[in-house]
Amino acid sequence: MEKNWFYSADGQEKKGPVPESELQQLLAGGQISAATLVWSEGMANWAPASSVAALQPQAAAAAPSASAGAVPVVAVPGAGVVPVPQGLGGWMTFVGVMHIIGGAFACLSCIGVIYGIPMIMGGAGLLGAKNLFATLPGVDPALLPALEKQRSAFKMLGWGYIMMFVFTILFMIVYGIFIFAFVAKMKGLAQ
């Protein structure tokens, strides 16, 4: 007997039950996408169709029907993925490089080595993670909210670094002016 499935393309309206072969035809014909949530008896939760082995074209050809019980879940490369949020890689690179530079400057003092080395390691790890994202065709749609928050966090860190740099330059200019005025005044008193 063929397994019956329920599906929800928008996450709200649930349709079904439909036979497994009909659901596979809907997927193959493009009437529903690989990101459509599906559920059948024996599954703990709804899952994207792209993650259910029984609904994949190669699984349908190899095994005519799934056995009773839990449906095996596998990741299908390139199916049901969305692009990494725009700007995440740029902010990750900027924050990673700033961590490395900040860690290098911290290592110039004896006490700074304690937090400088972990800063360098963290920056290098962040650049590695950014490079890993660049090799992926996309990410699971369920990860998108977390990645959006991560992008916001890196953006705030990046702007914090930019503001710290600008205020440091301004402080050095003002400090230099005071030193120059003090030296000029001392020369005037010495004469």
Give pLDDT tens digits along the chain (191 positions).
Answer: 788 998 887 767 888 899 988 888 888 877 888 888 888 988 888 888 888 888 876 544 444 444 444 444 444 444 567 788 888 889 999 999 999 999 999 999 889 899 999 999 999 999 998 888 878 777 888 888 888 999 999 999 999 999 998 999 999 999 999 999 999 988 888 77
Q: Do 44 and 96 lie in a common domain?
A: no
Ramachandran region, residue 42 (left: φ > 0; alpha: ψ -120 to 50; beta: rest): left
User: How far apart are the C-alpha atoms of 14 and 10, rounded to whole Å?
Assistant: 8
Domain that holds residue 174: 88-190
Q: Do 47 and 105 lie in a common domain?
A: no
> Would you state the pLDDT for residue 63?
45
Question: Do the domain assignments include residue 83?
Answer: no
Question: Do the domain assignments include residue 172?
Answer: yes
Question: Are 141 and 35 in contact, with CB atoms under 8 Å apart?
Answer: yes
> Would you state the pLDDT for residue 76?
47
User: Residue 124: CA atoms inside 13 Å, Cβ hemisphere, count?
Assistant: 8
What residues have CB less than 8 Å from 44, skipping those under 6 apart? 70
User: How far apart are the C-alpha atoms of 106 and 104, rounded to whole Å?
Assistant: 5
Q: Do 94 and 172 lie in a common domain?
A: yes
> Would you state the pLDDT for residue 43?
86
Q: Do 100 and 161 lie in a common domain?
A: yes
Question: Do the domain assignments include residue 73?
Answer: no
Q: Do 181 and 131 lie in a common domain?
A: yes
Question: Do the domain assignments include residue 69?
Answer: no
Q: Do 9 and 98 lie in a common domain?
A: no
Q: Do 127 and 38 lie in a common domain?
A: no
Question: Do the domain assignments include residue 44?
Answer: yes
Question: Are 180 and 118 in contact, with CB atoms under 8 Å apart?
Answer: no
User: How far apart are the C-alpha atoms of 174 and 184, rounded to whole Å?
Assistant: 15
- When divided into structural domains, the chain yields a total of 2
> Would you state the pLDDT for residue 64?
46
Q: Do 162 and 116 lie in a common domain?
A: yes
Q: Do 116 and 164 lie in a common domain?
A: yes
